[in-house]
Structure 1
Amino acid sequence: MIEYLLKLYKKPRLIIIDLVLINLAVLFSFILRFDDGWMQYFQINYLVAITVISFLVLYFSSLYNKMWQYASMSELYSIFKATIIINTLFVIYIYFFRVGFPRSIIAINLMTDIFLLGGMRFGLRVLKDYLNRNQNMKLKSRVLIIGAGDAAEIITREIQKHPEIGKRIIGLVDDDPNKQSLEIHGNKVLGKSENIPQLIEEYSVDEVIIAVPSAEGKTIKRFYELSNKKDVTVEIVPGVYEILKGDVSLNQIREVKVEDLLRRDQVDLISDEISAYLARKTVLVSGGGGSIGSEICRQVAKFNPKKIIILDINENTTYFLERELKNQYPELDLISIIGSIRDKNKLEQVFKKHSPDVVFHAAAHKHVPLMETSPEEAVKNNILGTKNLAETAAESEIDRFVLISTDKAVNPTNVMGASKRAAEMVVQTINKNSKAKFMAVRFGNVLGSQGSVIPLFKKQIADGGPITVTHKDITRYFMTIPEASQLVIQAGALGQGGEVFVLDMGEPVKIMELAEDLISLSGLTPYEDIDIDVIGLRPGEKLYEELLCDTEDNIATEHERIFINNLEAVDQDFLNKHLERLSELAEKAAERDIISALVDLVNTYQPRRDNVKKVDFKKDKKSS
């Protein structure tokens, strides 16, 4: 029925209807003013004049560009403006043609016009809402919304506006005592989150939507556990990292992910400081096609850089990132370069041609077990590649160089961690002899990054299990890719040169609990549908990661989520001698000798003892 009315509600037909209503408004104005004696004051030429004037005004107005089934105050303003113009022109007509006309009728006619024209249009919206609500009552999917804030209001309004999606809201829950029993668009707040299980049973709820974008992971996890009942679908409005502009729509509602259960507060950036070193600057991101590097590119693009250079050895990820950024930032000067940080000549060509001001160094081998079996590759890429890039940057007189490091560089027990600590030493040493500011930033695991544990667990669940966990008590720090990237960029603004920054990673997460959550989120039951096998720690793997050495001081910065490790830089001659030795050993792929050389360079490195071989040159360590 509503579709039929909308077809009738087109410009030619609507003008005729409006002209009839305007003429009726004149008649009603006389009746309201003079009661039964209205005919002795009324003349037919009034209707002729008002019809001509109204036709001209209405034809050239924007009234018929509106979608009146969504009428609101802005549409009412358009009606008010049109009726003011019509009645003003009618008064001018009366004055110039000296037509006898009761002046009090003008004010009454103005209000009657607004009432009739607006009533017709808003009546269509009321009818549409009524039909939608009736249709909603017949649908099977009964929805309970968690949250009664702005996001819940938008979702509620959208569901009521679109009955075709097949959802009916039975109510909302919110822990704010001031919101209890209040309504949003006719939907009542039925209680607090603790009442969710009872409400699901009482109202036969089919679907729960968590509409609290700013909630922390532990709160989301609690909501999920309260809502996760048999035959109940639990969905969520994405967090602030996904809703970049703060807008919420039905299309963004999705199933709960493990990332939601680990969600933390939004990062508050000191934007002025970031803009000061990124705006109108040329920024090079090594490993720019990777998980962290690509997100750094996305974040940097928001600060109006002069140019972004994506340097990566992987052509596929680089290509797709380039397309994404060009689509989102069509005015951005974006350069994609396929190349390796191992190639010093290539780096020199890139720096000579593009003269970058800021470098974010994210290119690295990071897979712990693989680097245990190929330590020469960790040396070539993570250590010598960093040396190539940092030296080239120093020679090019850049402003800032930020190395992406890892918590595995603290008291390392594996080649990857030791190589990243060595890379930090390289950057700190170069900083001493450079006008540019060189620094490093350490953080733990990032959710969803390439090679991380969550994609592995998802694959194992899809294959029917079991999920393999290396130890029942193993823990790791986690943060989202956008969160990590934003804090890296912020640290770049805070650095004065030589610092090793550490990010606040929050509380460590037990991998066993993470596996159980992923199984539950997949609609399965841990240990019944999917088993979890404990297979033992892998070579080089720690039971828990550290962010600070026992001997390191934790210095606060002006940003509450960023700290400085007070690490003394090593002697340059000592470092150079060990890097030369490592370079020679890497070319020979002498695995045990490489491990021993790394132990000599990084005195906190504790590998498996059977991997260590005594090297034949005298130790000369100052500090690491």
Structure 2
Amino acid sequence: MKLPVGRILYIVDVLVWMLAMLVAAILRYEFTFGDINWNAYVGFVLGAAVLQLVFGLVFNLYRKGMRFRAGGFEDTLSVSLAAGVVGSILWIISLIFGGVWEISRGIMLIATPGALILMLGVRFIARLIVRNSRKPGPDSAPALILGGGYVGTNLIRWMMSDPSSPYRPVGVIDDDPNLAKRKIRDVPVVGTFADIECAAERTGAEVLIVAVSAADAALLRRIQDVADRSGLSVKVMPPIGHVVANGVHVGDLRDLSIEDLLGRQPVETNVSEIAQYLMGKRVLVTGAGGSIGAQLCTEIAKYGPAELIMLDRDETGLQQALINVHGNGLLDTDAVVLADIREPDTLKQIFLDRRPEVVFHAAALKHLPMLEQYPDEAWKTNVLGTLNVLNAAEAADVETFVNISTDKAANPTSVLGHSKRVAEKLTGWFGQETDKNYLSVRFGNVIGSRGSMLPTFIRLIDEDKPLTVTHPDVTRYFMTIPEACQLVLQAGGIGRAGEVLILDMGEPVSILEIAKRMIAMSGKNIEIVFTGLREGEKLHEELVGAGEREDRPFHPKISHADVNILAPENLDKDGFMGRIGKLAYAEKEATR
């Protein structure tokens, strides 16, 4: 039967006391064995055994389930305190009873430091043996660790103590001059960022693991470029908060994704403002089965709404949203509502029955080329559908209404942009009429949303098909789904009646650059084909329209702009179609 580590350590410590006191007695009596009182020696060994057990338990030296691990200051201090207390008590006993028992008072003064040194030495050797036995095997890939801070140190500790680790650290890359020529957990610091190529060749590394807690997209792009030149694959670590809370596990390391290369520094949101208008409220989300709507539901659920109502006409999308929020897709709950925003009577009845207090309107048709072919569908969903939701919200006395818009509504040149612009104007009119927080939120492309560019590119690459790019100079704004949803929720807390809130999307990104990077990351030889700008499509998107005056009174990443309002009775489908026709004609004339 295998003994627990704590019990083994206790037995070793008792043997250490036995040996230390024997050596001390031999030295004290100058190798004259006849002068040693062996009965007193046995008594002191038994006393040491009892006291070591008591104070070993007090200082957690023999706790249940313990393992040999990399020792630190706390372990050394605990061993030292326990040995010091045991030795001191035995020395005091020798002072009091030494004459009676014929034992020298100097024996414990010699034995105690000797026992301490032996205890620490045994533990040190045991840890070396265990650590060497747990090192990654020869089949593990040699890896350079970029970052010698907290994340990097914990990553190396995990690698060096897990024999199943797929990676073996062979060097650390860090720009901190204080770390130059030093070692982190026995792994040498082999250079700075500028030395990655040389370090990779010198160490034979195959992988570069990014262990930088605040690596932004610009740094990750530089890392990817250097890795490509050096023949290194790139892995990234999770944020420092995850490492602190959960430690490091093999599943934490993941490939560098195109989202990492496009992303920006996370935008801080004021949780208290969000929670204030969502907590304990009945919240309804239209388009809850879509990418934005589903993520909105997930985020809203974190703030303790009294009820979360997910509405969509896509039953499969609703099932996925339900799984995200409630952990099941049974669909036997009134949390999901199957309805179409094109049906005004049905929609109004739902609102009157469920009485939502906060509404996020994410339902829309969004594919620009499709709506150019079928503008009537844009009118029915994006314009009349929005009006139906607004009318139902007014009838149910909704307090806060957030319409999800798009950057294509700024100076619109497409059916999509124009329909969303009209939706903004209608929302603004209801905001002024009700004097409640009816507002719109405008942002650009969302990375990874259903049917967007990135999933399309990924599929084309997987199928070895050419990537289609409309124009070599075309740029777009990008934002991650969670970031967009957090800012939408923030906007609902700070927006005022009739406003359009515009999310700061950072710098626009070249679509051609994205295509090239995705091809490079795939390792395939994929062709890029330029198809020309599609009808209604802009070369560069805008976030703020002509004549819109913006300011940022509450949040540094959210601009507030006033929009021209449009009363429902002034809606004119013929005018809408006519305006679209004029836009298309003007665009064709401009490209001649």
TM-score bin (small chain): 0.7 to 0.9
Say if 1:63 and 1:79, in contact at 8 Å, map to a contact too. no
Letter in 2 for 1:198: C
- Please give the alpha-carbon distance, in whole angstroms, between the structure 2 residues aligned to 1:39 and 1:352: 98
Superimposed CA distance per residue, residues 382-409 of structure 1 (whole angstroms, 9 cap, x where no aligned partner): 2222222222223333332111110011
Match of 1:44 in 2: 42
Matched, 1:540 2:539: no
Write out aligned runs for 1:144-159 (5 A): 144-159=144-159
* Most deviating of 165-174 and 257-266: 165-174
Q: 1:177 to 1:164 in 2, by over 3 A?
A: same
Q: 1:153 to 1:50 in 2, by over 3 A?
A: closer
State the TM-score, normalized to the length of structure 1.
Answer: 0.80
- Please give the alpha-carbon distance, in whole angstroms, between the structure 2 residues aligned to 1:259 and 1:13: 51
Write out aligned runs for 1:69-148 (5 A): 69=69, 71-72=71-72, 116-117=118-119, 119-132=121-134, 138=138, 141-148=141-148
Superimposed CA distance per residue, residues 75-123 of structure 1 (whole angstroms, 9 cap, x where no aligned partner): 5566578768978998999999999688887787776666555554443
Q: 1:107 to 1:439 in 2, by over 3 A?
A: farther
Deviation at 1:66, TM superposition (A): 1.0
Say if 2:348 and 2:395, in contact at 8 Å, map to a contact too. no
Q: 1:24 to 1:401 in 2, by over 3 A?
A: farther
Match of 2:233 in 1: 233
- Please give the alpha-carbon distance, in whole angstroms, between the structure 1 residues aligned to 2:30 and 2:405: 87
Match of 2:290 in 1: 290
Matched, 1:481 2:481: yes
* Most deviating of 159-168 and 71-80: 71-80
Match of 2:570 in 1: 577
- Please give the alpha-carbon distance, in whole angstroms, between the structure 1 residues aligned to 2:433 and 2:260: 44
Question: How many correspondences in the alignment?
Answer: 577
Q: 1:86 to 1:355 in 2, by over 3 A?
A: farther
Say if 2:313 and 2:340, in contact at 8 Å, map to a contact too. yes
Letter in 2 for 1:576: E
- Please give the alpha-carbon distance, in whole angstroms, between the structure 2 residues aligned to 1:241 and 1:314: 36
Q: 1:29 to 1:391 in 2, by over 3 A?
A: farther
* Most deviating of 101-110 and 299-308: 101-110
Deviation at 1:318, TM superposition (A): 2.9
Deviation at 1:71, TM superposition (A): 4.9
- Please give the alpha-carbon distance, in whole angstroms, between the structure 2 residues aligned to 1:119 and 1:365: 71
Say if 1:53 and 1:90, in contact at 8 Å, map to a contact too. no
Superimposed CA distance per residue, residues 325-354 of structure 1 (whole angstroms, 9 cap, x where no aligned partner): 3359xxxx9933333333444444544454
* Most deviating of 48-57 and 295-304: 48-57
Deviation at 1:33, TM superposition (A): 7.3
Match of 1:390 in 2: 390
Deviation at 1:126, TM superposition (A): 2.0
Deviation at 1:160, TM superposition (A): 1.6
- Please give the alpha-carbon distance, in whole angstroms, between the structure 2 residues aligned to 1:178 and 1:11: 38
Gaps of 5+ in 2: none
Say if 2:536 and 2:587, in contact at 8 Å, map to a contact too. no
- Please give the alpha-carbon distance, in whole angstroms, between the structure 2 residues aligned to 1:337 and 1:33: 89
Say if 1:155 and 1:250, in contact at 8 Å, map to a contact too. no
Q: Secondary structure at the match of 1:446?
A: strand
Q: Secondary structure at the match of 1:607?
A: helix
Matched, 1:553 2:538: no
- Please give the alpha-carbon distance, in whole angstroms, between the structure 1 residues aligned to 2:475 and 2:459: 21
Q: Secondary structure at the match of 1:68?
A: coil
- Please give the alpha-carbon distance, in whole angstroms, between the structure 1 residues aligned to 2:113 and 2:290: 64
Q: Secondary structure at the match of 2:126?
A: helix
Q: 1:245 to 1:598 in 2, by over 3 A?
A: farther
Matched, 1:339 2:302: no
Q: Cα RMSD over matched residues?
A: 3.9
Match of 2:585 in 1: 609
* Most deviating of 152-161 and 244-253: 244-253
- Please give the alpha-carbon distance, in whole angstroms, between the structure 1 residues aligned to 2:515 and 2:26: 77
Say if 2:348 and 2:391, in contact at 8 Å, map to a contact too. no
- Please give the alpha-carbon distance, in whole angstroms, between the structure 2 residues aligned to 1:408 and 1:240: 36
Match of 1:471 in 2: 471
Letter in 1 for 2:259: E
Deviation at 1:236, TM superposition (A): 2.3
Match of 1:565 in 2: 561
Match of 1:531 in 2: 527
Say if 1:444 and 1:478, in contact at 8 Å, map to a contact too. yes
Deviation at 1:67, TM superposition (A): 1.9
Q: Secondary structure at the match of 1:165?
A: coil
- Please give the alpha-carbon distance, in whole angstroms, between the structure 2 residues aligned to 1:557 and 1:246: 38
Q: 1:606 to 1:253 in 2, by over 3 A?
A: farther
